[in-house]
A and B are shown apart, each in its own frame.
Chain A
Amino acid sequence: MSNFEGADFFAIATRFVEAIPHVSELGIGVVSAAPGSAVIKLPYQNKLIGNPDTGVLHGGVITTLIDTVCGFAAFSDVGDGLPLATLDLRIDYLKPATPGIDLLAEGHTYKKTKSIMFVRATAYHDDPNDPIANCVCAFMRGTKGVQFVGSVRKKDAES
């Protein structure tokens, strides 16, 4: 049984991204969240440019966005609040991001085992069917760290 039964996943996802200093520093925000999936958004910023001649964002920024959305998808699907760690992550770059436009990433789990969470993700601007990058990754469950407690439940959030 998930600890997040009846929880407000948008609120949990928002707390999840705000608790990560680097993610919060980049201004990444939650668009939508559900058990085992989420969509998050990175605002375009000049400091993240990887090609000064075109203004295209550095691929590494896409890695950060995708790692974060996959981490939340795995975390919210497991539901035990225990920490996870990225084991590996593969990204295919399908086309360059368009300069000046916010970047979205959608991630969802597709297999859960006792030790491992398998997650897929894409990064895109406005059409998930026209992705900039595709990703598959695996997370190790129950790694070192502190358990996430005090999940934001619907009744707590409303009171």
Chain B
Amino acid sequence: MSSLIELVKSAKADGNPGAMDTAYPYAVYLGLQGSLLDDQLVYSLPFDNKIVGNPLLPAIHGGVVGAFLESVALMTLMWELDVVQLPKTIDITFDYLRSAGPKTTWAKAILTKRGRRVANVRVEAWQDDPQKPVAAAHGNFLTG
């Protein structure tokens, strides 16, 4: 079994999604942190000057917001499904709804359909108010 899947299994056995924060180097680079809120996995992306895309607004780079949404989709898939390897993104579409300002961003994912081989996931990211998302994504992931 891969080291990544071993880490995920042990995080799930302990009911501690925070143990998956170090699942891969890019999640550590962004400083992603997962926690459970009423059984729903919620992730935070801390603000840092290194993720700024527009220094004049200022706003977080759209690529980082997209990377955050995709990461949350992947982490949620591994948390909710018994996968034997890291799910592969087949395709993903990002909608940029508002500019993401210099503060913590939050996101959660919902599995809209879990098929035998493919799962469809929706993700939303927000800053101050979950009712005012800054970005959303939906994608298909190969899970089997």
Residues of A within 8 A of B (CB): 19-23, 25, 46-53, 57-61, 63-68, 83, 85-93, 96, 144-146
Contact = CB atoms under 8 A, between A and B. Distances in A.
B67 A88 contact: no
B26 A61 contact: yes
B62 interface: yes
Interface stretch (B11-19, B93-101, B103-111, B112-120): B93-101
Given A47-B28, A52-B24, A68-B63, 20 more contacts: A19-B55, A20-B54, A20-B61, A22-B51, A23-B53, A46-B25, A59-B70, A59-B92, A60-B68, A61-B26, A63-B66, A64-B67, A67-B66, A86-B96, A88-B96, A89-B94, A92-B90, A93-B91, A144-B99, A145-B54
B142 to A, nearest CB: 9
Contact of A21 (B55, B66, B70, B96): B55
Contact of B89 (A46, A53, A66, A93): A93
Residue among A22, A25, A48 with most chain B CB within 10 A: A22
A122 to B, nearest CB: 14
A52 B62 contact: no
A21 B25 CA distance: 20
Interface of B: 2-4, 23-29, 49-57, 60-64, 66-68, 70-71, 86, 88-96, 99
Contacts of B55: 19-21
Nearest to A49: B25
Given A21-B52, A59-B89, A85-B96, A64 B57 contact: no
A54 B26 CA distance: 13
Given A20-B53, A22-B61, A60-B71, A89 B24 contact: no
Given A87-B95, A88-B96, A93-B90, A64 B64 contact: yes
Residue among A21, A65, A92 with most chain B CB within 10 A: A21
